[in-house]
Structure 1
Amino acid sequence: MLRVSPRPGAESAPVRPGPFYGWFVVAATFAVTFIGFGSAYTFSTFVESLQRDFGTSRGSVSLVFSLAGFLYFGLGIVSGPLADRWGSRRLAVIGMLLIGAGLAAASAAESLMQVYAAYGLGVGLGVGCSYVPAVGAVQRWFVRRRGLASGLAVSGIGMGTLVMPPVASWLIAAMGWRDTYLVLGVLAAVLGGGLALLIENDPADRGLAPDGDTASPRPGRVGSQYSRSPGHSVGAAVHSRRFAGLYAACLIASFGLFVPFVHLVPYARDHGVPLPLAVLLLSVIGIGSTGGRFFLGSLADRVGREPSLLLMFLGMAAALAVWAVSLWVTTAAAWILALFALAFGVFYGGFVAVLPALVMDYFGGRNVSGIIGVLYTSVAFGTLIGPWAAGLAFDLSHSYALPILASVGTNLIAAGIVYGLSRTTRPARLAEK
C-alpha cells in the first residue's frame, strides 16, 4: 500500500521570507468552522423555545439537529470530490451563504416542519459544502506540521462551541429565538463568506511546497483535477482494510458523539441547573475541545496519529462515564457535568483534529477531500440517529440513562476497532518502508 512521506530534501529546502500562506488557509478554515459549527451547536439553547412554541416533544425537536448533522457530514461525499476538482474556496463560500439563508429562513418558520426544512437543509447543506473542502485544503499545505495545522484549523469548532451558545442564549433572552436565528444567519453569510475567500486549494499554485518550502511554479487552476500530489484514488482507498476500519469505528462512535451537543443543556435543566450555567456547559465543551485540537493534534505528530485516535475514543468513553455518574449523584450535578464537559471536549477535539491527518497519512493528498468526504458519511448516519434516539428514549422513559450508557459503549467498541486495525495493518506499514 502507498506510504506518503515528505519530498526528498523538503527538510532542508529554502523557505521564502514572510508568512507562509498555508497559515492563512488555516485561519480561514478556523473562521469557517467557528461560524458554521458555532451556529449549529447553539441548537441546544433553542430546544426549550422550540418545544414550547410549537408544542411538541423533545424527540421531535432533536430531529431538527439530527437532520442537519446528517446532511453536513453526509454531503462531504459530494463536496469533497468537487473540492478536489474545482477547488475548496468556492465550496466554502457557497456553504457559508447557505448557512446564512437557512438560519434566516428558520427565523420565519411557522411550524416545526418548516424548521426541519429551513434549518435542516440550510445549515446541513451549508456546513456540508464548506467543512470537508476547507479541512481537506489544509492537509495539502502541510506535512511536517500537519497535525498542528489541522488541529488549529478545526479548533474553530471548539471556539465556536465556547462562544456562540452563550451569545445565542443572551440574544434569545433579549430578542427571542426568531431574531436570534436571523442575526446568526447574517453573521454566517457576511463574515463567514468573506473569510472563506482566503482558502486556496494547493501550495503549488503559489510556487510552494508544503510547510513553506520553495518549489518550482507549476501551472494549476481551479477547475482542474489536483493530481499533482501522490495518493490513492477514492475507489482504491474506500476498498482498503484501513478505510473499512476507520469507517466502522467512526460510525459506531458517532451514535453517541453528538448526544451532548443537543441534550446536555436540557439534561442539566432537568437536574436543577439554572439556565445560564446549563448553557455554559456547552462553552466548557468548547474550551476543552479547543485545547484538545491544539495540544492533542500536535502530540499526534510526535507519538503517531493511529495510537492517538485510539486514545481519543477511550477518552470520550471515560468522559461519558463521568456524565453517567451524574444520573445518581444529583446533589453535585453541576460540578460533575462541568468535569464531563471539559473532559469530553478535550478528547472530542482531539478526535476531530487527528482524523483528517490520519486519512492523509494513509491515503495521500491527491484525493484527500473526496476520501474524507466518504469517511464522514459514517458520522452522518450516527448523527442522524443518535441525538434523535436519545430524545425519543427520554420521551418514553423520562431519563437519559440509556442514551448516556449506550454512548459509553459505542466509544469503547470504536476503540477496540482502531486497536484491531493497528494490529492488522502494522506488517503492511513495515513492508512499505
Structure 2
Amino acid sequence: MSQDADRYQPDSSYAWLRLAVALLVGTIACVGSWSVVVVLPAMQGEFDTLRAGASLPYTFAMLGFGAGNIIMGRVADRYGIMVPIVMGAFLLAAGYAAAAMSHSLWQFALAHGLLIGMGSAAGFSPLISDLSHWFRKHRGLAVVCGASGSYLAGVFWPQIITWGVANHGWRATHFGIAVVTLVVLLPLAPFFRRQPTAATMAAAEASSAGARGDLGLSAGQLQLLLCVAGFACCVAMAMPQVHIVAYCGDLGYGVARGAEMLSLMMLLGIVSRIGSGFVADRIGGAATLALGSLMQGVALFLYLWFDGLQSLYVVSGIFGLFQGGIVPMYAVVIREYLPAKQAGIRIGLVMSVTVLGMAFGGYLSGVIFDYFSSYRMAFLNGLAWNLVNLSIVCWLMLRARRSMPPLQVAG
C-alpha cells in the first residue's frame, strides 16, 4: 500500500508520465486556437468581408475558449480532468463538422464560439490546474510544459491546415480535423482517472494560505489584479499572433510565409515557456511574469521598425522567444498564493480573461487596420496595453520580494 502511495506522489515518475500524456492532449485539443488564423484570408474572400469581419470567427473562438476555461476548470475541480477531456473531444468534432458545412460568416463564427472554442479549452487551463497538483518541487516547469501543448498546436497545425486547404479545400480540411480530435482524445481520456491524494491537497492548501498572508493581499484582490494584467498582456500579444499571416499577405510575401512565421513564433514560444518554468522554480512566478512582460514589449517595438521578409522572420522568432512564458506564469502565481482546491476555477478564470484579451486584441487590430490601412498603429496599440500589464506585474513582483525573509549571513 505504501509503495502504491509513493508511486503517485507529487514529482513521481507517474507525474512525469501524466505530464507527457497531457502535452499530447493539449496539442490536439488546442487546434481551435490556430485553425481559424490560418484560414482567415480564405474566409475573407469566401464570405466577402473586410478584415475586421474576417477576424470575427477568431474572436468567437476565443470567447468560447474563455468561457470553456471557466466551465471546464470547475468541472475538473469537481470530477477530475478526465470528464473535460471527453467533453472536449465531442465538442471539437461537432464544431469542425459544423464549420465545414457553414454557408455564411456567422454560421462559421458560431461554430467556433459555441463548439470549437469550448472544446479546445479542455486542453488548456483544466490540464494546467491538474498538473499543478502533481508537482511541488518542479511545479513551474510542469505547468509551462503542460501549457506548451497550445504552442505545439501552433507549430504543427498551421502547416497541416495550410497543406490541407491547398490540396483539398478548407471544408474537407475541417472535416479531417473533426475526425482526428475524436479518435485521438477519447482513447487518452481514461488515463487521467486518478486524482491527487487528500494529504497532497491539504499540504498545498496550507502552503498557499501562508504565502498569501505574507503577500498582504486577499484572494479576491490578487485574483482581480491577475485578471487585469492577463487581459492587458494578451491584447498586446494578439496583434502578431492573429494578424501575422494577413500582414505578410498585405506586404506581398504570401500567406504561406506568414504561416511559417506563426509556426516559428510558436516553436520558439515553447522554448520560452520551458525556460520560464526553470526560472520560475528559482525566482518565483511574479518575477518571471514581469521579465516576460518586459521582453514582449521589446519585441512589439521591433515590429514597428522592421518589415522586410527576412527581418520579419527574425522579429517573429524573437517575439515567440520572449512572450511564450507569460500566460502560464499566471497559473504558477495562482498555485503559489491561492487555494489549491479552487485551482481549476481560479486558473480557468484568469485564463479566460487572457483569452478575452486575445479576442479583443485580435478584433481591435483588425478595426485599426481597416481605419488606417496599416498595421503600424495596431502595433502601437499593443505596446500601450503591454505597458499596463508591465506596471501591474512589476508592482506585484516588488510586493512579493518585500515579503521574503532576509537572507541570513553565516558567522
TM-score, length basis structure 2: 0.88
Question: Which has the higher relative contact order, 1 or 2, with Cα contacts under 8 A spaced 6 or more apart?
Answer: 1
Which runs of structure 2 are paired with 1:14-25 in the superposition (5 Å)?
20-25=13-18
Paired residues of 2:32 and 2:61 also in contact (CA < 8 A): no
- Structure 1 residue runs of 5 or longer lacking an equivalent are 1-12, 211-225
Which of 393, 403, 420 is the matching residue for 2:368? 393
- After TM superposition, the structure 1 stretch with the greater mean CA deviation from structure 2, 126-135 or 312-321, is 126-135
Cα deviations across residues 284-316 of structure 1 (Å, max 9, x unaligned)? Answer: 011111111112211211122211000111111
* 2:275 counterpart residue number: 295
Shift of the alpha carbon at 1:427?
4.5
Higher helix proportion: 2
- Equivalent residue, structure 2, for 1:123: 116
In the TM superposition, 1:233-252 aligns within 5 A as 239-252=219-232
Instruction: Report how far residue 16 of structure 1 moved.
Output: 7.9
Distance 1:253 1:41, change over 3 A: same
Which residue is 2:409 aligned to? Answer: none
**CA-to-aligned-CA distance 1:166-191 (integer Å, 9 cap, x gap):** 11101100000111111111111211
Contact 2:29–2:121 (CA under 8 A) maintained in structure 1: no
- Structure 2: any 5+ residue segments left out of the alignment? 407-411
Q: Once the 2 structures are TM-superposed, how far is the Cα of residue 28 of structure 1 from its aligned partner?
A: 2.6
- Amino acid corresponding to residue 360 of structure 2 in structure 1: I
Tell me if the contact between 1:168 and 1:180 (Cα under 8 Å) persists in the aligned partners: yes
Find 1:80's aligned residue among 66, 73, 89: 73
* 2:145 corresponds to 1:165: no
- Compute the displacement of 1:228 (Å): 7.6
Q: Which moved more, 1:81-90 or 1:22-31?
A: 22-31
| 3-state secondary structure, aligned to 1:301 | helix
1:234-277 Cα shifts (integer Å, max 9, x gaps): xx997543223222211111212223222100101111213332
Aligned CA distance change for structure 1 residues 90 and 42 (closer, same or farther; 3 Å): same
In 1, the alpha carbon distance for the partners of 2:127 and 2:7 equals 24
CA-based RMSD of the aligned residues comes to 2.6
The answer to whether the 8 A contact 2:99-2:111 is kept is yes
CA distance in 1, matches of 2:225, 2:404: 15
CA contact (8 A) 1:151 1:298 kept: no
Deviations 1:82-111 (A, max 9, x none): 211111111122112211210111001011
Structure 2 residue matching 1:389: 3-state secondary structure: helix
User: For 2:252, which of 265, 268, 272 is the aligned residue?
Assistant: 272
From 378, 385, 395, give the equivalent of 1:420: 395
Larger CA deviation: 288-297 vs 339-348: 339-348
What is the rounded CA distance, in whole Å, between the counterparts of 2:17 and 2:180 in structure 1?
A: 20
Residues 241 and 262, structure 2, Cα contact 8 Å, conserved in 1: yes
- Preserved CA contact (<8 Å) 2:27 2:150: yes
Alignment partner of 2:192: what SS? coil
Question: CA separation of 1:384/1:155 partners in 2, compared to 1, >3 Å: closer, same or farther?
Answer: closer
Contact 1:288/1:341 (8 A) holds in 2: no
Cα distance between partner residues in 2 of 1:146 and 1:256: 27
TM-score between both structures, scaled by the size of structure 1: 0.84
Query: Is 2:195 the counterpart of 1:195?
Result: no
Per-residue displacement from partner, 1:111-161 (whole Å, max 9, x unpaired)?
111101112211111123442211110000000011111122122222211
User: How many pairs are equivalent?
Assistant: 394
2:39 is paired with a residue whose SS is helix
